[in-house]
Structure 1
Amino acid sequence: MDERIQHAKLLYESAVFAADEAALDTADSELDAVEADLALARGRIAHGRFLQRGTEYDPELFERALRLYRAADDLRGQAEALFWLGIFHQLVRRDDTTAVPSFSRSRELAAKSGDSLTLSYALRHLGIAEQRAGHLGTARDLLEESTRLRRELGFLPGVAA
Structure 2
Amino acid sequence: MADTAMSGAAGTAGTTQPGEPVPVLPAARSATGADALDGAVWRLRSRGCWDDAAALLEPHAAGHPRYAIRRAALLVERCLFTAAGWAAAEDALRAAEAVAGDNDERGAAACERGHLAYAATVLGVRDRADEARSALGRAAALLAPAAPGRALLDYRRGLMAEHVANSPESARAAYRRAHAGATAHGDTLLLSFTWRHLAGLALRDGELAEARHGFAESLRIREELGFLVGTAPALVALADAAPPEEAEGLRIEAARLFRLMGGVPTWLAEHLEGVPEAPAGRAAQ
Q: TM-score range by the shorter chain?
A: 0.7 to 0.9
Partners in 1 of 2:208 and 2:166 — Cα distance? 19
Contact 1:147 1:159 in 2 (8 A): yes
TM-score by length of 2: 0.45
Partners in 1 of 2:223 and 2:63 — Cα distance? 31
Residues 1:64 and 2:138 are matched in the alignment: yes
- SS of corresponding position for 2:120: helix
**1:90 corresponds to which residue?**
162
- Matched to 2:142, the amino acid is L
What are the superposed Cα offsets for residues 64-83 of structure 1, whole Å, 9 maximum, x if unpaired?
22332226x31x31100000
Partners in 2 of 1:91 and 1:68 — Cα distance? 24
Partners in 2 of 1:77 and 1:33 — Cα distance? 8
Answer with 1 or 2: which has the greater Rg: 1
Partners in 2 of 1:81 and 1:50 — Cα distance? 17
Contact 1:107 1:123 in 2 (8 A): yes
Match of 1:36 among 107, 110, 115: 107
Q: Percent identity?
A: 29
Superposition CA RMSD, Å: 1.9
Partners in 2 of 1:91 and 1:78 — Cα distance? 20
Shift, 1:30, TM fit: 4.8
What are the superposed Cα offsets for residues 14-51 of structure 1, whole Å, 9 maximum, x if unpaired?
xxxxxxxxxxxxxxx95212211110110111011112
Partners in 1 of 2:191 and 2:108 — Cα distance? 18
Unaligned runs of 5+ in 2: 1-61, 67-99, 234-285
**1:3 corresponds to which residue?**
64
Partners in 2 of 1:136 and 1:32 — Cα distance? 41
**1:139 corresponds to which residue?**
211
Contact 1:4 1:31 in 2 (8 A): no
Shift, 1:56, TM fit: 4.6
Residues 1:77 and 2:138 are matched in the alignment: no
- Matched to 1:67, the amino acid is A
Say which structure, 1 or 2, has more relative contact order (CA 8 Å, 6+ apart). 2
Contact 1:79 1:109 in 2 (8 A): yes
Shift, 1:145, TM fit: 0.5
What are the superposed Cα offsets for residues 103-140 of structure 1, whole Å, 9 maximum, x if unpaired?
00100110110111111111111000000011011011
**Which structure has greater helix proportion?**
1
Shift, 1:4, TM fit: 4.2
CA gap of 1:49–1:154, structure 2 versus 1, over 3 A, is same
**2:200 corresponds to which residue?**
128
**2:229 corresponds to which residue?**
157
- SS of corresponding position for 2:129: coil
- SS of corresponding position for 1:70: coil
Partners in 1 of 2:104 and 2:194 — Cα distance? 22
- Matched to 2:116, the amino acid is I
Unaligned runs of 5+ in 1: 6-28
